[in-house]
């Protein structure tokens, strides 16, 4: 099978899961690099060039907020889910469960 075809279908399947995983992780305030690492450790491979624009989009949509923490020697921007982000997470998790049930029936 053509590698590009395989890659594009895998990408389509993964798309959307990074938003869900990020909103789940950001229930606790987390800075960007730590979020990247937690995502990778959790099995959601994503690079910064994808993640940072996504975080800006989610912030613009009111799903998360960010704040600079300047108390430590190295200032870091911390992100966390808003109540709206938490509400969206619940909807997405519900949809995921429903899709999973549907897929298991077809398997």
Instruction: Report d(CA 33, CA 89) in Å as an integer.
Output: 21
Q: What is the DSSP letter of 31?
A: E
Scanning 29-37, 57-65, 73-81 for contacts with a copy of itself by CB under 8 A, the matching segment is 57-65
CB of 78 to a copy of itself, least distance (A): 19
Q: What is the DSSP letter of 6?
A: H
Instruction: Report d(CA 12, CA 28) in Å as an integer.
Output: 28
Closest CB to a copy of itself among residues 21, 51: 21
Position 96 contacts a copy of itself (CB under 8 A): yes
Stretch 14-33 residues interacting with a copy of itself (CB under 8 A): 14-17, 19-21, 24-25
Closest CB to a copy of itself among residues 78, 84: 84
Beta bridge partners of 104: none
Nearest CA-CA partner of 84 in 66, 59, 67: 59
Q: How many Cβ atoms are within 10 Å of 73's Cβ, its own excluded?
A: 5
Q: Which residues of this protein are in contact with a copy of itself, per CB under 8 A?
A: 1-2, 5-6, 9-17, 19-21, 24-25, 42-44, 61-63, 84, 87-88, 91-93, 95-96, 98-103, 105-107
């Amino acid at each position: 099978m053509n590698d590009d075809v395989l890659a594009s279908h895998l990408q389509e399947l993964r798309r959307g899961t990074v938003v869900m995983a990020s909103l789940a992780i950001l229930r606790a305030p987390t800075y960007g690099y730590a979020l990247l690492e937690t995502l990778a450790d959790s099995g959601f491979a994503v690079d910064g060039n994808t993640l940072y624009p996504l975080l800006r989009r989610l912030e613009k949509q009111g799903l998360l907020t960010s704040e600079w923490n300047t108390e430590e020697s190295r200032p870091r921007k911390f992100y966390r889910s808003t109540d709206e982000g938490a509400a969206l997470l619940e909807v997405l998790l519900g949809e995921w469960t429903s899709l999973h049930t549907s897929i298991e029936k077809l398997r």
